[in-house]
Amino acid sequence: GLAVPITGSLTACGDTHGQTGQVLASAARLPEAYATPLPLPPVKRPAGGLIEIAQRHASVEILPGLKTEMMTYDGVFPGPTLETRRGETVTVRHTSSLTLPTATHLHGGHTPAESDGWPTDLLVPPSFNTYQVPQTGHDGHAPMADPLAQVSTGERDYRYPLDQPATTLWYHDHRMDFTAPQVWRGLAGFHIVRDAEEDALSLPRGEREIPLMIADRAFDEDGALRYPALDPELLGQPGVEDRYMAGVLGDVILVNGAPWPEAEVDAAQYRLRLLNGSNARRYELSLRTADGKPLAFTQIGSDGGLLARPVQHDAITMASGERFDVVVDFRSLAPGTTVELRNALGTGRTAQVMRFRIARRATDDVRVPERLADVPEPEKPDGAVVRRWHFRQAKVHGRKGWGINGKPFDPAVPQAQVPLGSTEIWEFFTDAHHPVHVHLSPFQVLRRGNRGPGPMDHGWKDTVDVRPYEAVRVRVRFEKYAGRFLIHCHNLEHEDMAMMAGFETV
């Protein structure tokens, strides 16, 4: 097979405070918090229905004065932010000069199967001999064939109808068995869908609308990314799977690719599009001013679009893959004051995320409306099929790994057939913490354990944080498209260790 050149070694477990996973310690000199300005990814809009993206290796400055070799979309990390309009079909043409295959998924997109980034529908760089495409995981597991795989060389078009409400989507790599290392190395970006309904609302916009991709990483002394190599030789040793099982965490918190950045803002309201783009880290985010006063978040949207009405939160808990669209109000703060975005699930430096500095007074006539969008009440339809998905450990080719309903992912064998036009109840159950993500159709949370939906479950979701022994029931309707789609854990190491299943819409 092909070795993925990844470096780094694991330290003993740290940071277990409300957070599972192994923390990789950086060897590089880390900058002080809030010394780096917050970057914004470049924006790309379709021209004649087309957006082009070049996947390539690039050396990116993440830590000041050091170069980090990354796998990128267009040479930047995060990749460019794609901005599109609801109902306007866009073709995103990816070319690749990488040295490894990829599969690009639009997370949250209502996308036909052939463009959804099925994990074996690879884009292979032209320099690459297709026969070399490894069919083994980076944990060294045995070959797995997918007779239906559609492999393209050099270039691949992804067609997105975007027949869905305005929201924050993101695109990232989804290659079978290698999603975690390839996303870690840089293959992720925002995709924002806009529509007329949202345009008509009084919400912060322009420079007062900021996408924030929060993702942890770890770095070697020379700036190279650290990531545990799970090669077959290592796997012969006892206990190696255990070090990887919970997921990989870094000790550096990046926002839009910058370590613990600072954003200069007006004393005004801001719309923050929060995305947890981390492999395995969860965050409990809160805002507090330099003199210790908390600041609330007004949630206006979730994964799948605007909420029916705004919801106030003191803290936002986010699992990998989730998005929260919030408005924060800096109007009462004097120029010169600062507001920290903190993570209650981190310790030491991972408890810090970023900081806002109020630079100037400003006028602001935004009034967040009491009615945002039409979202039906999530009701349990009578007589709906209840489909159960049990997320737990499974043997993956004889080794310890993760599975769904006792089975590791097999691209050739879907676990369910779902008739198009049907509404079903899906129940997710786990004995550990897993963020569950469903492709194609958004869902509404009906229940968490014996109770109703939790505070983070409002609106249309595509990723839900499932806690141990707390069955989460969601209502999901599949209207279009026919083909094969995925349900999986969005802890990316779990996903690669086979906690994924195909389902087929028919």
Residues that bind ligand C2O (CB under 6 A): 105, 107, 172, 174, 321, 437, 439, 486, 488, 490
- Among residues 474, 489, 492, 498, the one that binds Cu ion under rule CB under 5 A: 489
416 by Cβ neighbours in 10 Å (0-12 / 13-18 / 19+) ranks as: middle
For ligand C2O, which is the closer residue by CB, 368 or 416?
416
Q: Does 494 bind Cu ion (CB under 5 A)?
A: yes
491, interface contact from Cu ion, ligand C2O, none, CB < 5-8 Å by kind: Cu ion
406 Cβ neighbours under 8 A, 6+ residues apart: 390, 392, 394
User: Least distance to ligand C2O from the beta carbon of 106, Å?
Assistant: 9
Task: Write the DSSP assignment of 258-284 as a string of letters.
Answer: EESEEEEEESSEEEEEEEE--SS--EE
Q: Write the binding mask 163 to 202 for Cu ion: x where contact by CB under 5 A, - elsewhere.
A: ----------------------------------------
Phi-psi region of 211 (alpha: psi -120 to 50; beta: other; left: phi over 0): beta
Whether the upstream peptide bond of residue 481 has omega within 30° of 0, thus cis, is yes
User: Least distance to Cu ion from the beta carbon of 261, Å?
Assistant: 29
* CA distance to 140, 148, 279, 392, 474, per residue, from 400 (Å): 12, 27, 19, 11, 29
For ligand C2O, which is the closer residue by CB, 214 or 486?
486
Instruction: Please state, in angstroms and rounded to a whole number, the distance separating the CA atoms of residues 493 and 180.
Output: 6
For ligand C2O, which is the closer residue by CB, 286 or 505?
505
For ligand C2O, which is the closer residue by CB, 26 or 115?
115
For ligand C2O, which is the closer residue by CB, 447 or 484?
484
Strands 483-489 and 463-466: unpaired
For ligand C2O, which is the closer residue by CB, 188 or 373?
188
Instruction: Please state, in angstroms and rounded to a whole number, the distance separating the CA atoms of residues 219 and 205.
Output: 35
Instruction: Please state, in angstroms and rounded to a whole number, the distance separating the CA atoms of residues 64 and 130.
Output: 38
Picking from 211, 349, 327, the residue whose alpha carbon sits closest to that of residue 277 is 211
Q: Which two tokens stand for residue 233?
A: 């030789």
Instruction: Please state, in angstroms and rounded to a whole number, the distance separating the CA atoms of residues 304 and 162.
Output: 12
- Among residues 164, 182, 491, 505, the one that binds Cu ion under rule CB under 5 A: 491
- Among residues 434, 439, 458, 475, the one that binds Cu ion under rule CB under 5 A: 434
Task: Choose the stretch contacting Cu ion; rule: CB under 5 A; options: 103-111, 141-149, 152-160, 491-499.
Answer: 491-499
Please give the residue whose beta carbon sits closest to ligand C2O in the complex: 107
174, interface contact from Cu ion, ligand C2O, none, CB < 5-8 Å by kind: ligand C2O
Task: Choose the stretch contacting Cu ion; rule: CB under 5 A; options: 144-152, 174-182, 448-456, 493-501.
Answer: 493-501
* Site for Cu ion, rule CB under 5 A: 434, 489, 491, 494
